C-alpha cells in the first residue's frame, strides 16, 4: 500500500502540473485554511518550504488547484524520507475548510497522531482520503459515512482500534476500503452486504484482531474482494 500512495502522489503531481497554470491566483479562504494547516504541525517541515505568503497557494508544494480555477482541490503530503522528515502533530480542523477538496493524501508520517477531525464531513466533493502509515488512533469514526463522494478510503498502518463502523456501507460509490494493519476488533459488519453486488468495493482488512464468521450477506467470494489474512 505504500507503493500505492507513492504512485498516487506522483500521479497527482504530474496531472496538476499539466493542467494548473503556475500563476493561478489563490482563493483567500483556501489560503487562510492552508496557513492554519501549516501552523498546526509542530515541527518545521520541508513540505512547507515553498509556502511563501507572497506566492499563490496554487504553487505551494503539495497543493493543487483545479484547471481554470483558483480553488484548492488536492493536498498530497507523502513522506519519502524517514520519520525526522515527516510532519508532527494532529490533523487539524482546517482540513475541512477547503470546500473543493477532492483528494487528501497525508501518508507515511509517524509523527501525525490522534483522531480524525469531524470537519472532514464538510468535504462533500472528497473522493480520495488516504491517511496510511501514520500514528492515527481511536475508533474509526462513523461520520466518514457522511462523505458520499468517497471512492477510496485508506487508513491502513495506523493505530485505530474498536470495531469497523457498519455505517461505512452507506458509501455507495466506494471502490476500495483499506483498513489493514490496525488494532480493529469484532467482526466484519453484516451491513457490508449492502454494497453494490455489481461493483462491490475491495475490502482490505488483514492484520487486525477481527473475529467471527464472514457475514453471509457479503456473498463472498463471488461478489466481494475480501482480504482477511493474518
Question: What's the CATH code, domain 2-227?
Answer: 3.80.10.10
pLDDT in tens, 202-215: 999 999 999 887 77
DSSP string, 86-154: S-EEEPPGGGGG-TT--EEEEES-TEEEEPPPGGGGG-TT--EEE--SSEEEEEPPGGGGG-TT-SEEE
Residue 156: strand, helix, or coil? coil
Residues 204, 177 contacting (CB under 8 angstroms): yes
Rounded Cα distance between 1 and 180, Å, is 10
Asked if the peptide bond before residue 28 counts as cis, ω within 30 degrees of 0, the response is no
Give the model's confidence band at 115: pLDDT under 50 very low, under 70 low, under 90 confident, else very high.
very high
Query: In this predicted structure, which of 44-53, 83-92, 122-131, 180-189 has the lowest mean pLDDT?
Result: 44-53
Q: Is the pLDDT of residue 165 over 70?
A: yes
Closest by CA to 203, choosing from 158, 155, 159, is: 155
The pTM score is 0.87
pLDDT for 6 beyond 70: no
**Surface-to-core class of residue 80, CB atoms within 10 Å of its CB (0-12 exposed, 13-18 middle, 19+ buried):** exposed
**What's 161's DSSP letter?**
E
Task: Give 63-82 pLDDT, tens digit per residue.
Answer: 999 877 789 999 999 998 88
Q: Distance between CA 46 and CA 141 in Å, rounded?
A: 30
- Identify which of 123, 131, 182, 117 has the alpha carbon closest to the alpha carbon of residue 5: 131
Contacts of 135 (CB under 8 A, 6+ apart): 110, 111, 112, 113, 158, 159
* Phi (first) and psi of residue 93, to 5 degrees: -60, -30
CA distance 199 to 124: 22
Does 23 score more than 60 pLDDT?
Answer: no
Amino acid at each position: 500500500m505504500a507503493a500505492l500512495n507513492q504512485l498516487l502522489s506522483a500521479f497527482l503531481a504530474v496531472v496538476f502540473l499539466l493542467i494548473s497554470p503556475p500563476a493561478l491566483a489563490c482563493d483567500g479562504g483556501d489560503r487562510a485554511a492552508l496557513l492554519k494547516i501549516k501552523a498546526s504541525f509542530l515541527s518545521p517541515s520541508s513540505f512547507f518550504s515553498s509556502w511563501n505568503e507572497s506566492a499563490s497557494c496554487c504553487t505551494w508544494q503539495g497543493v493543487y488547484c483545479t484547471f481554470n480555477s483558483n480553488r484548492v482541490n488536492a493536498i498530497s503530503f507523502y513522506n519519502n524520507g524517514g520519520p525526522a522528515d515527516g510532519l508532527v502533530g494532529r490533523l487539524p480542523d482546517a482540513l475541512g475548510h477547503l470546500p473543493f477538496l477532492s483528494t487528501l493524501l497525508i501518508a507515511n508520517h509517524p509523527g501525525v497522531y490522534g483522531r480524525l477531525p469531524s470537519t472532514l464531513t464538510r468535504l462533500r466533493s472528497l473522493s480520495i482520503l488516504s491517511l496510511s502509515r501514520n500514528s492515527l488512533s481511536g475508533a474509526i469514526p462513523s461520520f466518514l459515512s457522511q462523505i458520499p463522494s468517497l471512492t477510496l478510503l485508506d487508513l491502513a498502518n495506523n493505530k485505530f482500534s474498536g470495531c469497523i463502523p457498519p455505517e461505512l456501507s452507506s458509501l455507495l460509490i466506494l471502490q476500495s476500503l483499506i483498513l489493514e494493519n490496525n488494532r480493529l476488533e469484532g467482526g466484519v459488519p453484516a451491513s457490508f452486504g449492502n454494497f453494490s453486488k455489481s461493483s462491490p468495493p475491495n475490502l482490505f482488512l488483514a492484520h487486525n484482531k477481527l473475529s467471527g464468521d464472514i457475514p453471509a450477506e457479503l456473498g463472498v467470494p463471488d461478489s466481494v474482494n475480501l482480504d482477511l489474512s493474518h
